[in-house]
A and B are shown apart, each in its own frame.
Chain A
Amino acid sequence: MSYYFTILSPTDTPIFNIAFGTSKGGGDGIARFRFPDTAQYMNQFIIHSSLDIVEEAQWTNGGMYLKHVDTYPPAAAYISAFLTPSGARFLLLHQPPQLPNSNTGSLGSSSLLGPGGSTTRASSSSIAANPTSPQTEEAVRQFMNEIYESFVKTAMSPFYKQGMEIRSPVFRTKVTAAGKKWL
């Protein structure tokens, strides 16, 4: 499972992003997206294109965690969203290491996936295998909540201005740690 995490300010400026891989089930924490290295911008495209859906979904319930909001089938990319009351959005793109077997048919094109059929799945945990399962939703919720806590602390720093890029190494470390812990 590979992850791409972005925070957008209320005015849609990206203020933080990080790519990381799963550490569960023997994962080494390194992101391995299915795009070639030259096409990593695809993550940003996909994640930002989900913003419309996030905006629709944000009024559907009172919660801050919107769960899984969008899917980009060609790349098997799943997007989960979390809103803060001030309007910042946390978006997490997750991409399983290979297509879950049950969904192979419905997800269509596999041209981006490289040689399929390999059975060496890096992780067999339920999170990696089922991006929309309740366990995954729960893990992402824990992850988002932990980041929310760190985000609030970072935003309280007197030298941080609203809407400014988050450059704090402490925050980055905390996000990495939260990713390791929950995803």
Chain B
Amino acid sequence: MSTNKASRIGEEIWKTRVDKVNAELVTLTYGTIVAQLCQDYNSDYQEVNKQLDKMGYNIGMRLIEDFLAKSGVGRCANFRETADMIAKVGFKIFLNVAPTVTNWTSDNNQFSLIFDDNPLADFVELPDDGRAQDELWFSNILCGVLRGSLEMVQVQIEAHFVSDVLRGDDTTEMRVSLVRYIEDEMPPEEE
């Protein structure tokens, strides 16, 4: 399945099958969550990143079902197809953005998502305490969402942000690496 086809599917579902909510509602709600976490963990941003990732993981595990039901797409033939599906269909129907898939490694196991537009981060300016700029990944929930949803379809990945415009970088880039395809395993106790 080509990138273009994935884009078309995403566009089609976004137009016809998705309930929309006000973007500022999403932005402000998410922003409040992150700000509250920063407060709860006394600005321990490593911990905040971890919590966001965990929240995303729990979201992803449920969201995948919704995604498959809405999109009706089948199994991806390879990891490249998975990447297009995430970027052009997944992000499109849930956030109405379509990040660019790029920077593939030669073994096709790692790629980057470049976000031109990040609805979670509108209006946001990181706290100027001298650490948030270097430690907090504001949109880290997205990494968790990808990890959780892919795990439910037997793809184990690792995802993390490598740059963020909020920190003053030129782009917002998430690095996604395939760890392994999870094979069905028998529970160990049962004979």
Chain A interface residues toward B at CB < 8 A:
153-154, 156-160, 167-168, 170
Question: B73 in the interface, Cβ–Cβ < 8 Å?
Answer: no
Partner pick for A160 among B27, B38, B122, B125, CB 8 A cutoff: B125
Closest to B122 in A: A156
Does the CB pair A158–B32 fall under 8 Å? yes
A166: shortest Cβ distance to chain B, in Å? 10
- Within the complex, the shortest CB–CB distance from A67 to chain B, in Å, comes to 30
Distance of A161 from chain B, by nearest CB (Å): 9
A167 and B31 contact, Cβ closer than 8 Å, known pairs A153-B123, A156-B123, A157-B123: no
List B contacts of A170 (CB < 8 A): 125
Q: Which residues of A contact B34 (CB under 8 A)?
A: 158
Please tell me if the beta carbons of B31 and A157 are within 8 angstroms of each other in the complex: yes
Most buried by B among A154, A160, A167, A170: A160
For the residues of A in contact with B, the DSSP-based class is: loop
A140 to B28, CA, bound (A): 31
* List of A residues within 8 angstroms of B32 by Cβ: 158
Chain A residues whose C-beta falls within 8 Å of the C-beta of B152 in the assembled complex: none
Which residues of A are found within 8 Å of B27, using beta-carbon distances?
Answer: 156
List B164-185 residues whose CB lies under 8 Å from chain A.
Answer: none
- Residues in B neighbouring A156, C-beta threshold 8 A: 24, 27-28, 31, 122-123
User: Which residues of B10-46 have CB atoms within 8 Å of chain A's CB atoms?
Assistant: 24, 27-28, 31-32, 34-35, 38
Q: A170 vs B128: C-alpha distance in the bound complex, in angstroms? A: 12
Contact among A154, A158, A168 for B35, CB-based, below 8 A = A158
Residues of B within 8 A of A160 (CB): 125
> 4 closest Cβ contacts across the A-B interface?
A158-B31, A156-B123, A158-B35, A159-B127
Quote the shortest CB–CB distance from B165 to chain A (angstroms). Answer: 12
Min CB–CB distance B117 → chain A (angstroms): 16
Taking the closest CB of chain A, its distance from the CB of B39, in whole angstroms, is: 10
B35 in contact with A159 (CB, 8 Å): yes
Chain A residues whose CB sits within 8 angstroms of the CB of B31 once the complex forms: 156-159
- Asked if B124 CB lies within 8 Å of chain A CBs, one says yes
A–B complex contacts, Cβ < 8 Å, 21 sampled: A153-B123, A156-B31, A156-B122, A156-B123, A157-B31, A157-B123, A157-B124, A157-B125, A158-B31, A158-B32, A158-B35, A158-B123, A158-B124, A159-B35, A159-B124, A159-B125, A159-B126, A159-B127, A160-B125, A168-B125, A170-B125
Give complex CA distance A152, B123 in Å. 9
